Amino acid sequence: MNTSQPILPPAMLGVLGGGQLGRMFVVAAKTMGYQVTVLDPNPDAPAAAFADRHLCAPFDDKAALTELAECAAVTTEFENVSADALHFLADHTVVSPRGDSVSIAQNRIQEKAWIQKAGLETAPYQAVCSLDDITEASAELLPGILKTATLGYDGKGQVRVKTLDELKAAFETLNRVDCILEKMVDLRSEISVIVCRLNSDNEQTFDPAENIHEDGILAYSIVPARLSADVQQQAQDMARRLADELDYVGVLAVEMFVVGDTHSLIVNEMAPRPHNSGHHTLNACTTDQFQQQVRIMCGLPPADTRLLSSCCMANILGDVWKDNGEPDWLPIQTDLHAYLHLYGKKSASRGRKMGHFTVLDQDAGTAFEKAQSLHAKL
Ligand code: ATP
Ligand code: MG
């Protein structure tokens, strides 16, 4: 369904998923005076704490989806929601992002095809859906990474391979599900650009974030990215081109690799939602990525995305809850330029995203050093 009139407070908005992204979405929506319904099967879903209504049911529960469809508009906080659920909702209310955009982002084979369709570079790759797809020609892509086409995140569902024999073994290890084989590229750094798009006349991008991973999980995002202004501009143009090609409506995160001495950019993947690498926008930008999500689903143009201060966002994983004791928040809480965000998750475990903090500083490199030193004190 499509409405031409913007949806205004105190309308009820719906969100599929009640994790930390859903929680920050709810906070943004509530702050603007909207009401929010969250659908999430977890009774302790982080977003439910702030929502007006929590439909505690599976994501494909027809009765719950029918209730959610009564909201003035619905969005999602994660990409692995079934496209069927989004299509069902779209028959009754305004849904963004659209189901077709979400299903493209769910599948690396489709995703890569769309990136190329937008005229953008990817790492050289091929689809591997059966053993027969592995031929002599596949050797061109070695050393490479075999990635499952669906359901991969935080580096899961990936095997690095050097030879055709290793490639075949890896395909077996991944249970012969549809995969893509990607050539290893000469990665110099990783960045992401968040595009906020209502339509071709109303589109904004945030400055690229430089992302530092540890054990396959995002650890720090540094903004502005330590790259030339030209490369940063090019990254924003590329992200926008991809959003245009998809005629995307909503918040889209585009991950890119900075490759080789020339710092050329290739697109790795996209997420049809706010992204962990955009959490700094909560403290460092005129508008944050969750406010943009609210605005766009309500048919409002995305607002100004200006970066007000250089900064570094640091993730807080469950790993820092030693012996189940609460980490020491005092150093962050007493720092006048650090901002703590905790997601209210009931239990901490290794690799689980429990919160983040953002350090502001005149210089992004200094912000990164300060964030590392504060993180070491947790
Ligand atoms: P996430 O959920 O954290 O985004 P993911 O599981 O979806 O991760 P990718 O982003 O595709 O997986 O890959 C994880 C990491 O592996 C990348 O951030 C990058 O460091 C490395 N990597 C992936 N593809 C390549 C490649 N073709 N060449 C070199 N390094 C790569
Ligand atoms: Mg990734």
Buried b (16+ CB within 10 A) or exposed e, 179-197: bbbbeebeeebbbbbbbbb
Ligand 1 pocket test, candidate residues 21, 145, 215, most atoms within 8 A of CB? 145
Report the atom number in ligand 1 closest to the C-alpha of 182. Answer: 27
Residues whose CB is less than 8 angstroms from the CB of residue 77 and which lie 6 or more positions away in sequence, other chains included? 15, 16, 17, 18, 19, 21, 22, 25, 47, 273, 274
CATH superfamily to which 187-376 belongs: ATP-grasp fold, B domain (3.30.470.20)
Write the single-letter amino acid at 63.
A
The token pair that represents 306 in the structure block? 């200006």
Give the separation between CA 332 and CA 374, rounded to whole angstroms.
6
Query: How many whole angstroms separate alpha carbon 73 and alpha carbon 90?
Result: 9
Say whether 278 counts as a known binding-site residue: no
Q: Using CA positions, which residue lies closest to atom 1 of ligand 1?
A: 154
Q: Find out whether 322 is annotated in a ligand binding site.
A: no
Cβ(338)–Cβ(316) below 8 Å: no
Domain ranges of the chain: 12-95, 124-183, 187-376
Give the Cα separation of 126 and 141 in Å (integer).
8
| pLDDT, tens digit (0-9, with 9 covering 90-100), for 351-372 | 999 999 999 999 999 999 999 9
Ligand 1, pocket-test mutation among 80, 161, 187, 192, most atoms within 8 A of CB: 187
Q: What is the pTM of this model?
A: 0.96
Among residues 112, 134, 130, which one has the least CA distance to residue 121?
112
Q: Do domains 124-183 and 187-376 have the same CATH topology?
A: no
Note the pLDDT of residue 341. 98
Q: Please count the other Cβ atoms lying within 10 Å of the Cβ belonging to residue 100.
A: 15
What CATH homologous superfamily does 124-183 map to?
A: ATP-grasp fold, A domain (3.30.1490.20)
Write down the pLDDT at residue 344.
96
Q: Phi-psi region for residue 345, left (φ > 0), alpha (ψ -120 to 50) or beta?
A: beta
Domain 12-95: CATH architecture, name and number where available:
3-Layer(aba) Sandwich (3.40)
Q: Is 228 exposed, middle or buried (0-12, 13-18, 19+ CB in 10 A)?
A: exposed
157 is in an annotated binding site: yes
Q: Compute, in angstroms, the gap from residue 49 CA to the centroid of ligand 1.
A: 33
pLDDT of 161-205, one tens digit each? 999 999 999 999 999 999 999 999 999 999 999 999 999 999 999
Torsion angle, CA of 137/143/145/149, rounded to 10 degrees? -10
* 153 appears as a binding residue in the annotation: yes
Q: Is 100 in the pocket of ligand 1 (CB under 6 A)?
A: no
Per-residue pLDDT, 1: 59
Quickly list DSSP for 237-281: HHHHHHHHHTT--EEEEEEEEEETTTTEEEEEEEESS--GGGTTH
How many CA atoms lie within 13 Å of 327's alpha carbon, on the beta-carbon side? 22
Share of the chain above pLDDT 90, in %: 94
